[in-house]
């Protein structure tokens, strides 16, 4: 008889993420190193478990007008159809058309960190994105509508009491440009938002695993990245 257990597998996945984040918080003394290590835990999770059409990296995002986003801790982007603009010694720049989701990573979340994450997400959403008609054997499909870019916040702990509750819900109120659609506080729970902008906060329940599954579900609902107008970027070669 098999000794595999799905509940234990899902619990183990969450416990591994929470344990690693906890070790980083308790042992890494330098704030920048602590932040980089925390980003690494979330990036490892997404690179390992997201479908292979996606990948994740810490990066800047650029558009064909030459505008750049802030530095983004975790960018989930298309791996199949979209090119890199720049990738050198860990510095990555990704075209805006490739992006599916962006996340800010923090050790501990509070209202200032939520506001900071909202501004980071907005810096990506306001970028220009191209979408070309798609040729096929019988003619041409019209350009794809631009998919919504999901935004979120990933953390280990919360400064609020209760850890997840009304203070978090109040802090999450935002303009559409900066809205955080999903987030995980690994030691306490997750939050998600509905299409009308209302939030659901779910405490406990293997948060890291719940976050991963919810993100995959959101990505499944999103269209494939549009056909990028690479010549719109190439025009900068003559500047």
Q: Is 144 a residue of the active site?
A: no
**Residue 38: both structure tokens together:** 């925390």
User: Which parts of 156-228 fold into alpha helices (H)?
Assistant: 166-172, 207-220
CA 68 – CA 210 distance, rounded (Å): 32
Query: Whose CA is closest to 101, among 145, 154, 140?
Result: 154
Query: Catalytic one among 18, 63, 106, 181?
Result: 106
Query: Catalytic one among 18, 39, 63, 73?
Result: 73
Name every residue whose Cβ is closer than 8 Å to that of residue 87 and which is 6 or more positions away in sequence.
Answer: 93
* Edge-first strand listing for the sheet containing 189-193: 86-88, 91-95, 54-62, 72-78, 99-109, 150-158, 182-185, 189-193, 199-203
Name every residue whose Cβ is closer than 8 Å to that of residue 161 and which is 6 or more positions away in sequence.
Answer: none
Q: Is 181 a residue of the active site?
A: no
Query: Catalytic one among 18, 63, 78, 104?
Result: 104
Query: Whose CA is closest to 9, among 217, 213, 154, 203?
Result: 213
Q: Is 73 a residue of the active site?
A: yes
Are 150 and 100 a contacting pair, CB within 8 Å?
Answer: yes
Are 83 and 232 a contacting pair, CB within 8 Å?
Answer: no
Known catalytic residues? Answer: 73, 104, 106
């Amino acid at each position: 008889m098999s000794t595999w257990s799905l509940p234990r597998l899902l619990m183990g996945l969450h416990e591994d993420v929470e344990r690693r984040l906890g070790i980083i918080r308790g042992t890494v003394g330098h704030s920048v190193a602590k932040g980089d290590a925390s980003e690494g835990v979330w990036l490892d999770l997404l690179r390992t478990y997201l479908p292979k059409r996606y990948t994740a990296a810490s990066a800047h995002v650029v558009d064909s007008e030459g505008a750049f986003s802030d530095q983004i801790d975790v960018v989930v982007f298309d791996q199949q159809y979209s090119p890199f603009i720049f990738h050198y010694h860990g510095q990555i720049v990704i075209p805006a058309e490739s992006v599916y989701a962006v996340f800010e990573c923090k050790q501990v979340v509070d209202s200032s960190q939520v506001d900071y994450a909202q501004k980071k997400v907005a810096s990506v959403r306001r970028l220009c994105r191209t979408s070309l008609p798609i040729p096929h054997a019988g003619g041409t499909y019209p350009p794809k509508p631009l998919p919504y870019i999901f935004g979120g916040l990933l953390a280990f702990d919360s400064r609020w009491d209760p850890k997840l509750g009304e203070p978090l819900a109040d802090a999450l109120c935002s303009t559409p440009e900066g809205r955080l659609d999903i987030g995980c506080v690994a030691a306490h729970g997750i939050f998600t938002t509905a299409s009308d902008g209302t939030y659901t906060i779910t405490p406990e329940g293997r948060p890291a695993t719940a976050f991963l599954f919810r993100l995959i579900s959101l990505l499944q609902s999103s269209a494939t990245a549009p056909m990028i107008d690479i010549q719109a970027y190439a025009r900068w070669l003559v500047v």
